[in-house]
Amino acid sequence: MGILQDVICKVDSTDPAATLQALGGANVILATTSDSKSMSDLVGGLRPRGKMIVAGAPTAPLEISPLLLIFGTRTVEGTLTGSSSDNEDTLAFSVLENIKPMIETVPLEKAAEGYERMSSNKARFRVVILMN
């Protein structure tokens, strides 16, 4: 077992909070999506004293019941990411733990279609344009 002590999983469910709670609740959720509803729906999946870190930047506000925060002492906080130092640390950690990205690839000639999938929130994973 490596540095990671908890299960890392992608939750694909109509009720993601219930799915996470059925697994025992999440200690930490790193929310990288650009969809406010998806983030808001996950807060109930945190275990008591759990934390959701918002790294994505949706334009709509998050809708979170204060009861979820108060009675579970859960927290939601934002973070800026993207410095070259952050990127180096992230890449080193992924190599150390053998973490592979989940991506969708799009050939350069279909870049406009890939951009539309990303912008309309239809992309399942990060969209990566492949150069020939």
1-100: CATH, from 3.90.79.10, 2.160.20.10, 3.40.50.720, 1.10.8.640: 3.40.50.720
What is this structure's pTM? 0.61
Judge whether residue 132 has pLDDT over 90. no
Per-residue pLDDT tens digits for 36-72: 998 999 999 999 999 999 988 888 999 999 999 999 8
Q: Give 16 or 4, the one with higher predicted confidence.
A: 16
Task: Read off the pLDDT band of 12 (50, 70, 90).
Answer: low
Mean pLDDT in residue range 12-27: 86
Phi, psi of 4, deg, nearest 5? -75, 120
State the amino acid at position 132 in one-letter form. N
Percent of the chain beyond pLDDT 70?
A: 90
Per-residue pLDDT tens digits for 77-114: 998 877 888 888 988 999 999 998 888 899 999 999 98
Give the count of alpha carbons within 13 A of 90, CB side only: 9
Contacting residues for 35 by C-beta, under 8 A, at least 6 apart: 56, 58, 121
Residue boundaries of the structural domains of the chain: 1-100, 101-132
Judge whether residue 7 has pLDDT over 90. no
Judge whether residue 2 has pLDDT over 50. no
